[in-house]
Amino acid sequence: MVTTVESSPQTILSTRHLTWALLALALGGFAIGTTEFMTMGLLEEIADGIDRSNATTGHIITAYALGVVVGAPVIVSLGARLPKRELAIGLILALGVGNAITAMASGYLPVMIARFVAGLPHGAYFGVASLLAASLVRPEFKGRAVSSVMLGLSVATVVGVPASTVLGQHLGWRSAYWVVLALAIATALMIFAFVPHSPANRDASVRGELSALKRPQVLFAVSAGMIGFGGLFAMYSYIAPLVTKVADQSSAWIPWFLLVFGIGSVLGSWLAGILADWDVERSVLLGFAGTVVALVAFFFAAPHVAPAMILVFTVAVISSVVAINLQVRLMHAAGEAQMLGAALNHSALNLANGLGAWLGSVAIAAGYGYRASSLVGAGLAVAGLAIFASGIAVQRRTVRP
């Protein structure tokens, strides 16, 4: 790493200051990843607390995802003219408030509304945090800077989610959401202390930000993520029954598979930054192709613990590479609306979550078994690959002299 990094003509950060600035932004990703996924681990405790079945309580997970999908484009567009550091602080504090409301809510509907509110800043935070991180480094290091923010989310799957789940099981599910509030406050303080202030863009407008949605390459990338990334969720949504019913192992093996997936996500997030600085387009293409191969292989390996675990790890690595490189691609394709481009990636991934899980359930309900979900996932990854490749082909025809 270089000893000094230019973030603007007026600001030069030392390596140490840069490290703390990126850690501050990544801590926000850690808080978001924790609150997003810990609800799944605490679903039974929450269901008991609000007196609903597990299936009904699961709707609060959907409510959070819907908040992400709605909040990303709306908040980024409305906040386009605000100073980015202050916007990031406001968004992470809003996430904290959403978790505090969740912790205080009583009953099914209030908890669901609270989770929707908590999801609103999710995509917008990653949008502005990614742009801030990229602005702190030289152009050849932008991919690694963006991946460092996303790394916080991946680390949450290994550390934050298990720890908050244990806490919620022993001290009550509400305690876990209070911890996320504390993480949000700590993130806000660190961003204020270490991320340089950048002036507001007075020329930005809602129309200007939303104009990115008219760009073909933005639509190609969003569609590729929304459909292709559903391949991961088609399989991963059913990892518990795949372990217990297909691999014929006790439920005690499930956390180990989740841990392996989390470690793969962390490694993939680190690798994604290096690959993004190498070649974003090729990284996405190779990532989708690798996902197809891994998911087809998982169909055959699922009954066997060791090969299945290796492939879960592989899918996690590749999926993180695809997700982060799609985000960088969207930032490039969005032109002046880079923040919206980065935020849209998270809307797309949350839509992919729902699409993949639903199509996987259709195959399972049709009697094809839990293993079929990985083939459904492979099909979605093929579709994502085709869409992204089509976008590149259109782009090359457009720029051809």
Q: pLDDT by residue (tens digit) across 53-112?
A: 766 787 888 788 889 988 888 888 888 778 889 999 999 999 999 999 999 998 899 999
pLDDT of 254 = 79
Instruction: Say which residue the tokens 């613990």 belong to.
Output: 305
**What is the b/e burial string over 327-342, where b = at least 16 CB atoms within 10 angstroms of the residue's CB?**
bbbbbbbbeebbbbbb
Residues 155 and 157: their CA atoms lie apart, in Å, by 5
What average pLDDT does this structure show over 294-322?
95
pLDDT of 12 = 53
With CA atoms as reference, report the closest residue to 384 among 337, 335, 351: 351
Q: Per 3-state DSSP, what percentage of the chain is helix, strand, and coil (rounded to 5)?
A: 85, 0, 15
Amino acid at 239: I
Q: How many CA atoms lie within 13 A of 146 on its CB side?
A: 36
Residue 28 token pair: 């926000």
The structure's pTM equals: 0.80
Torsion of CA 97, 103, 104, 107, to 10 degrees: 120
> Residue 163 above 90 pLDDT?
no
What average pLDDT does this structure show over 111-131?
92
Residues 115 and 43: their CA atoms lie apart, in Å, by 13
Instruction: Say if CB 232 and CB 319 are below 8 A apart.
Output: yes
Lowest mean pLDDT among 227-231, 340-344, 385-389: 340-344
With CA atoms as reference, report the closest residue to 122 among 186, 66, 205, 185: 66
Say which residue, 293 or 360, is predicted with more confidence: 293
Residue 390 token pair: 């089509």
Say which residue, 317 or 123, is predicted with more confidence: 317
With CA atoms as reference, report the closest residue to 112 among 101, 122, 96: 101
pLDDT of 9 = 37
Instruction: Say if CB 1 and CB 15 are below 8 A apart.
Output: yes
Instruction: Say if CB 360 and CB 377 are below 8 A apart.
Output: yes
- The CA distances from residue 378 to 38, 132, 229, 268, in Å, are 27, 34, 10, 19
Lowest mean pLDDT among 9-23, 88-102, 367-381: 9-23
pLDDT of 305 = 94
Number of residues written out for the chain: 401
pLDDT of 303 = 94
Amino acid at 231: G
Gyration radius of the chain's alpha carbons: 20
Share of the chain above pLDDT 70, in %: 92
Say which residue, 58 or 381, is predicted with more confidence: 381
Q: Give the model's confidence band at 150: pLDDT under 50 very low, under 70 low, under 90 confident, else very high.
A: confident
